[in-house]
């Protein structure tokens, strides 16, 4: 006898919430080793990114531990002028030569690198935090509030970043710590827009709706679906933004608007070096140029790998 | 189309008004005020008060902003106390040079990037594609000033092929009359965008190659050449127009660096020099002009996009 498909079949026994047989068709979805381990696995598969991460750790150690091993004078200009030759090529006592003031270049790479790295990382951190809060508020409240906040972002983004940065630097004559604020002030607009879009789309995603239909709690939706997905966007942006901030600081230094002496940063060092480009003092240009490029490339590779590892949607597995 | 045009122009006007507001706010943030910035640290209270009354800086902020806007409409961008000259005349002298530099290098970048991206799409995942991808990634990571300096080192100091900077008295049109002096600056600015443009062109061509009309053309027996140039290329070019509009702020910022590297007296170099000289009104003036130029450039790119793409021209909606 054919069964009526619309007839409700009586169940053998009523289901209770803790019934072990309450399993979706196709079995319980089991994470293969958890989100974090999965992420680390995907990241580790990207050899270029692992090498980049190793290089970045090396550079951080080089800049912050290096000065304790390879001790040089980097602040006393008089002593530098007295004790060493200016613009000297690499020798046994000065491995990468000296600059126009007689400062040791290898030591100066560490000394200037500290500023470049600290300002780069801190500016990216500040920009990301401000951008995430601004964007999340805008996306969360929506309506005219959202429209107003986003018009402001549009206006800010239409100003060429370097011009705005130079205007702020001219007004405030910043020290290294103020440079963090100034660079963050020109780079929080992009994450604000990203996170706002993320908040808007995540709320209406099919899988979020699916969880809701299946009776998932709000806590589960936020904790297991929305947060892990926007953390990806946030971390990936922050990584790229460290590279951008280091480049912005380098550009400012190159234009002669970097940290004031006796401090220095990689961009300022390069700017001083190219003054002697026609004299063939290569040791004043290539090492510091290489530092900037390699750190930026490494951060970009790490950002790419993080995007693959964190944004589950893009994973091909 | 008319609706789109009106909406897009209105949007640009709002952005420009917003930028004037931001620049005005920046001018209010000067520590010690504009009087202190203009008169120096030794000015007395009386001098400062006199200066403020004379320039209307003692009035309410919204009145000051209104006067600032009125001044802008009359072409008055402020006064450079360092140069003892109006900001407008200083900028007008430099603006054409920057526009020519940006225009020529953007065109050059397109001439290189479009065939490059197309070639990569056609030879997808072959040696040419991979090597060009590596090159563009490298260019993408290079800071603008380093590209410029390396070009000077190799092609000017080592090989002596091109001068390291254009003549300082060069007019805006010297790029056409004395092209040799401009090879390095133009290429160094173009290098910034070639990477982005060619990547975009590659994926744009790849997208169009999967479209139905390309398959139809193939099915009708059109030669691969005809399919590529007659059908895929023309459609793939349309999104590039939007990309130019979006990249324009970055190109203008790059021009600032390029002008500094090659000592080319455009608006970027003017900005850097006035920043070093603490000439705040002049920096704010160039910032405003650079932004307005960028907004207008993006507007033109968008309108061209609308004119080229019938889906926007006829649809009426974005």
pLDDT tens profile A268-317: 888 887 777 677 677 777 888 888 888 888 888 888 778 777 765 555 44
Contacts of B142 in chain A (CB under 8 A): 293
| pLDDT of residue B207 exceeding 50 | yes
Contacts of B286 in chain A (CB under 8 A): 163
Contacts of B94 in chain A (CB under 8 A): none
Q: List the single best residue of A149, A152, A158, A291 to mutate versus B (max B Cβ within 10 A).
A: A158
pLDDT tens profile A207-235: 778 887 888 776 676 667 766 677 778 88
**A-proximal residues of B, 283-302, CB under 8 Å:** 283-284, 286-287, 290-291, 294-295, 298
pLDDT tens profile B256-275: 888 888 888 888 888 888 88
Q: Give the SS3 label for residue B179.
A: helix
Cα A140 to the center of its chain, rounded Å? 24
Among A120-129, B33-42, B146-155, B225-234, the range with the most confident prediction by mean pLDDT is A120-129
Cα A17 to the center of its chain, rounded Å? 44
CB contact, 8 Å: B145 with chain A?
yes
* Overall average pLDDT of the A71-86 stretch: 71
For A99, A265, B257, the CA distances from B150, given in Å and listed in that order, are 19, 20, 14
CB contact, 8 Å: B184 with chain A?
no
Distance CA A214, CA A40 (A): 30
Q: List the single best residue of B99, B137, B145, B252 to mutate versus A (max A Cβ within 10 A).
A: B145
CB contact under 8 A, B149 and A250: no
CB contact under 8 A, B145 and A168: no
pLDDT tens profile B137-191: 777 777 888 888 888 877 877 777 777 777 666 666 766 777 777 778 888 888 8
Q: Which residue stretches of chain B are H helix?
A: 2-28, 33-39, 45-55, 61-73, 87-122, 127-141, 144-151, 174-177, 183-209, 212-219, 224-226, 234-262, 267-276, 280-308, 310-315
| pLDDT of residue A30 exceeding 70 | no
Q: Which of A35-44, B246-255, B277-286 has the lowest mean pLDDT?
A: A35-44
| pLDDT of residue A62 exceeding 60 | yes
| pLDDT of residue A17 exceeding 80 | no
- pTM tops 0.90, yes or no: no
Count Cβ–Cβ pairs < 8 Å, chain A vs chain B: 125
Q: Looking at chain A, which residue has its C-alpha nearest residue B21?
A: A155
Q: Give the SS3 label for residue B278.
A: coil
CB contact under 8 A, A171 and B30: yes
Q: CB–CB of B180/B162 below 8 Å?
A: yes
Q: CB–CB of B63/B50 below 8 Å?
A: no
Band of residue A8 on the pLDDT scale cut at 50, 70, 90:
low
* Distance of residue B302 Cα from the nearest chain A Cα, in angstroms: 14
Q: Which long-range contacts (CB under 8 A, 24 or more apart) does A253-256 make?
A: A254/B143, A254/B145, A254/B257, A254/B260, A255/A166, A255/B257, A255/B260, A255/B272, A255/B275, A256/B272, A256/B276
pLDDT given at position A251 = 87
Q: Looking at chain B, which residue has its C-alpha nearest residue A159?
A: B291
* Overall average pLDDT of the A140-151 stretch: 81
User: Which one of A164, A277, A293 has the shortest CB-CB distance to B141?
Assistant: A293
Q: How far apart are the first and last CA of chain B?
A: 10
Percent over 70 (pLDDT), chain A: 78
- What b/e sequence results for A83-101 when a residue is b if at least 16 CB atoms lie within 10 Å of its CB, and e otherwise? ebeeebeeeeebebbbbeb
User: Which one of B22, B141, B152 has the shortest CB-CB distance to A300?
Assistant: B141
Percent over 90 (pLDDT), chain B: 0
pLDDT tens profile B25-68: 888 777 767 777 677 777 777 877 777 777 777 777 787 888 88
Distance CA A19, CA A262 (A): 71
For B36, B41, B42, B50, B52, the CA distances from B45, given in Å and listed in that order, are 10, 11, 10, 9, 10
pLDDT given at position A126 = 92
* Overall average pLDDT of the B215-242 stretch: 80
pLDDT given at position A317 = 41
DSSP string, B38-105: HH-TT--HHHHHHHHHHHTTTS-HHHHHHHHHHHHHTT---EETTTTEEHHHHHHHHHHHHHHHHHHH
Q: List the single best residue of A160, A173, A247, A287 to mutate versus B (max B Cβ within 10 A).
A: A160
User: Which one of B19, B141, B153 has the shortest CB-CB distance to A277?
Assistant: B153
| pLDDT of residue A139 exceeding 50 | yes
Is pLDDT larger for residue B9 or for residue B227?
Answer: B9
- Kindly state the DSSP code that residue A84 receives in the 8-state scheme: S
Mean pLDDT score across all residues of chain B: 80
pLDDT given at position A122 = 92
* Distance of residue A292 Cα from the nearest chain B Cα, in angstroms: 8
Distance CA A98, CA A89 (A): 7
CB contact, 8 Å: B274 with chain A?
yes
pLDDT tens profile A171-197: 887 788 888 888 898 888 888 888 888
Distance CA A296, CA A242 (A): 8
Contacts of B252 in chain A (CB under 8 A): 160, 163
Q: Give the SS3 label for residue A10.
A: coil
pLDDT given at position A125 = 92
Cα A128 to the center of its chain, rounded Å? 8
pLDDT given at position B318 = 43
Is pLDDT larger for residue B315 or for residue A286?
Answer: A286
What ipTM was estimated for this complex? 0.82
Band of residue B317 on the pLDDT scale cut at 50, 70, 90:
very low
Tokens of residue A67, six digits: 């000065």
Q: Looking at chain B, which residue has its C-alpha nearest residue A164?
A: B287
Contacts of A167 in chain B (CB under 8 A): 23, 26, 275, 280, 283-284, 287
Q: List the single best residue of A120, A150, A168, A171 to mutate versus B (max B Cβ within 10 A).
A: A171
Contacts of A172 in chain B (CB under 8 A): 29, 31
| pLDDT of residue A29 exceeding 80 | no
Mean pLDDT score across all residues of chain A: 77
pLDDT tens profile B60-90: 778 788 888 887 887 777 777 777 777 788 8
| pLDDT of residue B305 exceeding 60 | yes
Q: CB–CB of B313/B1 below 8 Å?
A: yes
Q: How crowded is residue A304: how many other Cβ atoms within 10 Å of its Cβ?
A: 18
Question: Token pair 């850097």 is at which residue?
Answer: B272
């Amino acid at each position: 006898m054919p069964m009526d498909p619309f007839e409700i079949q009586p169940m053998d026994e009523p289901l209770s919430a803790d019934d072990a047989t309450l399993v979706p068709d196709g079995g319980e979805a089991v994470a293969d080793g958890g989100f974090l381990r999965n992420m680390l696995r995907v990241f580790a598969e990207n050899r270029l990114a692992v090498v980049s991460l190793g290089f970045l750790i090396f550079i951080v150690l080089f800049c912050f531990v290096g000065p304790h091993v390879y001790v040089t004078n980097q602040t006393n200009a008089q002593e530098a002028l007295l004790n060493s030759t200016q613009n000297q090529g690499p020798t046994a006592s000065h491995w990468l030569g000296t600059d126009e003031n007689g400062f040791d270049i290898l030591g100066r790479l560490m000394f200037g690198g500290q500023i470049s790295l600290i300002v780069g990382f801190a500016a990216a951190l500040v920009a990301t935090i401000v951008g995430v809060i601004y964007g999340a508020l805008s996306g969360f409240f929506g309506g005219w509030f959202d429209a107003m906040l986003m018009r402001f972002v549009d206006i800010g983004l239409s100003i060429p970043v370097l011009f705005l940065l130079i205007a702020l630097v001219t007004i405030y004559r910043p020290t290294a710590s103020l440079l963090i604020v100034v660079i963050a002030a020109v780079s929080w607009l992009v994450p604000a827009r990203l996170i706002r879009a993320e908040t808007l789309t995540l709320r209406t995603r099919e899988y979020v709706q699916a969880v809701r239909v299946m009776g998932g709690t709000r806590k589960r939706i936020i904790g297991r679906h929305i947060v892990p997905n926007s953390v990806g966007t946030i971390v990936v942006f922050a990584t790229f933004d460290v590279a951008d901030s280091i480049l912005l600081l380098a550009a400012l230094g190159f234009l002669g608007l970097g940290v004031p002496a006796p401090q220095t940063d990689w961009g300022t060092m390069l700017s001083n070096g190219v003054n002697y480009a026609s004299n063939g003092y290569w040791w004043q240009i290539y090492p510091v140029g290489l530092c900037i490029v390699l750190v930026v490339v490494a951060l970009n590779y790490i950002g790419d790998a993080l995007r693959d590892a964190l944004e589950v949607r893009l994973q091909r597995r | 189309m008319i609706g789109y045009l009106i909406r897009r122009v209105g949007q640009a006007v709002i952005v420009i008004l917003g930028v004037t507001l931001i620049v005005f706010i920046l001018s209010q943030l000067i520590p010690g005020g504009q009087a202190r910035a203009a008169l120096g640290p030794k000015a007395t209270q009386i001098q400062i008060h006199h200066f403020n009354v004379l320039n209307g800086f003692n009035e309410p902020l919204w009145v000051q902003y209104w006067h600032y806007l009125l001044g802008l409409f009359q072409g008055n961008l402020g006064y450079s106390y360092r140069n003892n000259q109006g900001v407008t005349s200083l900028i007008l002298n430099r603006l054409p040079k920057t526009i020519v530099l940006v225009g020529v290098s953007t065109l050059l970048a397109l001439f290189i990037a479009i065939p490059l991206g197309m070639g990569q799409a056609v030879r997808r995942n072959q040696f040419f594609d991979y090597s060009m991808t590596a090159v563009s990634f490298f260019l993408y990571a290079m800071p603008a000033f380093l590209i410029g300096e390396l070009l000077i080192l190799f092609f000017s100091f080592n090989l002596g092929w091109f001068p390291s900077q254009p003549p300082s008295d060069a007019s805006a049109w010297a790029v056409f009359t004395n092209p040799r002096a401009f090879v390095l600056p133009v290429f160094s600015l173009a290098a910034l965008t070639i990477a982005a443009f060619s990547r975009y062109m590659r994926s744009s061509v790849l997208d169009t190659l999967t479209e139905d009309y390309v398959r139809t053309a193939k099915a009708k027996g059109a030669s691969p050449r005809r399919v590529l140039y007659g059908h895929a290329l023309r459609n793939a070019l349309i999104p590039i127009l939007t990309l130019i509009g979006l990249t324009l702020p970055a190109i203008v910022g790059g021009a600032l660096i390029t002008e500094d590297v090659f000592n080319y007296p455009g608006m970027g170099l003017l900005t850097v020099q006035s920043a070093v000289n603490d000439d705040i009104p002049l920096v704010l003036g160039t910032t405003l002009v650079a932004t307005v130029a960028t907004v207008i450039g993006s507007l033109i790119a968008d309108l061209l996009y609308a004119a080229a793409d019938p889906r926007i021209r006829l649809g009426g909606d974005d």
